[in-house]
Amino acid sequence: MGMTQHIKHIFEHFDSQSPMLSFSELVSGHINDTYLIKTAEKPDYVLQRINHRVFKDVPGLVNNKVLISKHLRKKSKGKTRRDLQRSILQFVPLKGQNIYYYKEGEHYWNMMVYIENSRTFDVVTNPKIAFEGGKLFGDFLNQTQDFDSGRLIDVIPRFHDMAFRFEQFEESLQDAAPKRLEESKLEIDKIWALKEEMHIIQKLKESGAIRTRVTHNDTKISNALFDLDNKGLCVIDTDTVMPGIVHYDFGDAIRTICNTAAEDEQDLTKVRFNYDFYEAYQAGFLGEMNQALTPIERKYLPLAAKTMTFIMAIRFLTDFLNGDIYYKTAYANHNLVRSKNQLKLIDSMTDAFAQALNG
- Predicted confidence at residue 161, as pLDDT, reads 96
Is the peptide bond preceding residue 178 cis, with omega within 30 degrees of 0?
Answer: no
278/348 Cα distance (integer angstroms): 12
- Predicted confidence at residue 358, as pLDDT, reads 81
- Predicted confidence at residue 105, as pLDDT, reads 77
133/146 Cα distance (integer angstroms): 22
pTM passes above 0.75: yes
Secondary structure class of 232 (helix, strand, coil): strand
Backbone angles phi, psi at 244, to 5 degrees: -170, -160
Q: What is the mean pLDDT of residues 25-36?
A: 77
- Predicted confidence at residue 252, as pLDDT, reads 96
- Predicted confidence at residue 8, as pLDDT, reads 94
What lies within 8 Å, CB to CB, of 345 at 6+ separation is 255, 259, 271, 272, 273, 309
Q: What is the mean pLDDT of residues 95-104?
A: 89
Minimum mean pLDDT among 19-28, 76-85, 259-268: which range?
A: 76-85
**pLDDT tens per residue across span 35-63:** 999 999 889 999 999 988 888 999 999 99
| Residue 33 pLDDT grade (very low, low, confident, very high; cuts 50, 70, 90) | confident
| Residue 359 pLDDT grade (very low, low, confident, very high; cuts 50, 70, 90) | low
User: Quick check: 20 pLDDT over 90?
Assistant: yes
- Predicted confidence at residue 28, as pLDDT, reads 52
**pLDDT tens per residue across span 291-343:** 999 999 999 999 999 999 999 999 999 999 999 998 889 999 999 999 999 99
Q: What is the mean pLDDT of residues 120-129?
A: 93
Minimum mean pLDDT among 55-69, 79-93, 183-197, 298-312: which range?
A: 79-93
Secondary structure class of 209 (helix, strand, coil): coil
- Domains (range + CATH), the chain: 3-115 (3.30.200.20), 127-357 (3.90.1200.10)
- Predicted confidence at residue 21, as pLDDT, reads 94
- Predicted confidence at residue 71, as pLDDT, reads 96
Contact 241, 218 (CB under 8 A): no
User: Quick check: 70 pLDDT over 60?
Assistant: yes
Q: Which residues pair with 113 in a beta bridge?
A: 45
**pLDDT tens per residue across span 142-170:** 999 999 999 999 999 999 999 999 999 99
b/e burial code for range 203-232 (CB count within 10 A of at least 16 → b): ebbeeeebeebbbbbbbbbbbbbbbeeeeb
User: Quick check: 214 pLDDT over 60?
Assistant: yes
* Distinct helix (H) and strand (E) counts, the chain: 13, 11
User: Quick check: 29 pLDDT over 80?
Assistant: no
| Residue 97 pLDDT grade (very low, low, confident, very high; cuts 50, 70, 90) | confident
Minimum mean pLDDT among 25-39, 196-210, 297-311: which range?
A: 25-39
